[in-house]
Amino acid sequence: MSVAVVTGANSGIGRAVALRLAVDGYDVYGGMRDLGRGSKLATMAAEAGVEVHPLQLDVTDDGSVTTAIDEILEAAGRVDVLVNNAGIGWNSTTEDIDIDAAKLAFETNYWGVIRCLQAVLPGMRERGDGHVVNISSIAGRIAAIGQVPYSGSKWALEALSEGLAQEVAPFGIQVSVIEPGVTRTAILPKNPDYPTPTAYEDQYARMLEFYAAGIMAEVQPDVVAAVVAEALSTDEHKLRWPCAWGGAELIAGREAMTDEEWIGLGALAPDAAAYRARFRELFGLDVDIDLG
């Protein structure tokens, strides 16, 4: 039985992925910072007739990562699949960033991934087999308005993933990057609120309208979990997997537009109607959500 580790497994996409892999026959270890928050995962696993082993794992802490992976290796002997899902959002325009506070976004979304990779790659490399799945975001392919720290951390994760895929290819290790658009998960309300007062109210308003439109689409984390399962099982491996609301549309739209068109869209932010219309024209997505 293949052994899979999923970080941030207590909620949202991580929980859905852990459950899906358990149903698919993996021996799954669900990492989370606080084991006391894993009750819903345990309940859902029991209802599905599977088991997910809860594991205390804080990706921002070197010792926690080392201890967790050592526990898995002692119990299961190997890690075949690592799903780097643990992550946090962070809302801020560049001028508004509280640098010391926002470092947590990179500590979790970027350095946390590296900690986990360094813990499992030696074993995968020695066996000549393994699969790393990094849960990125469409914010890793398109500079999300009003979310510079979050988007920056996900762009960094994309670069890491692309480089990693080349580094480990000679050792038989595969890398997949999952790029969800908006899904209905707990990460959104957990995002730190944007700073006020600010000169960038219009930019934050466009950001909030975008997510409101995505949430209204009601795409559940199970959709992303299904993509992870496909990435792990397909014989036709590919690096990037956009999915969920807006995933494919935003990536394709940005690739098709010029940099000048992108900047021009930003210039329309104070004019909500004009911004929404241009956004629809460029990406084929309706963000006409008036939040008052």
Handedness of CA 36, 37, 42, 43 (dihedral sign): positive
Cβ pair 81, 232 in contact under 8 A: yes
Q: Is 150 annotated as catalytic?
A: yes
DSSP SS3 for 252: helix
Q: Is 176 among the residues known to form the active site?
A: no
Amino acid in position 180: P
Catalytic-labelled residue, pool 150, 194, 200, 211: 150
Across 12-164, where does the E strand assignment appear?
27-32, 52-56, 81-84, 130-135
Given the residues 136, 153, 161, 176, the one annotated as active site = 136
User: Is 64 one of the catalytic residues?
Assistant: no
Give bridge partners of residue 241 from the DSSP assignment: 178
The active-site residue out of 110, 154, 161, 176 is 154
Strand partners, 177: 134, 240
- Three-state DSSP at 105 gives helix
| Residue 139: exposure state from Cβ atoms within 10 A (0-12, 13-18, ≥19) | buried
| C-alpha torsion 71→75→78→81, nearest 10 | -80
Give Cα 66 to chain centroid, integer Å.
Answer: 22
Active site residue ranges: 136, 150, 154
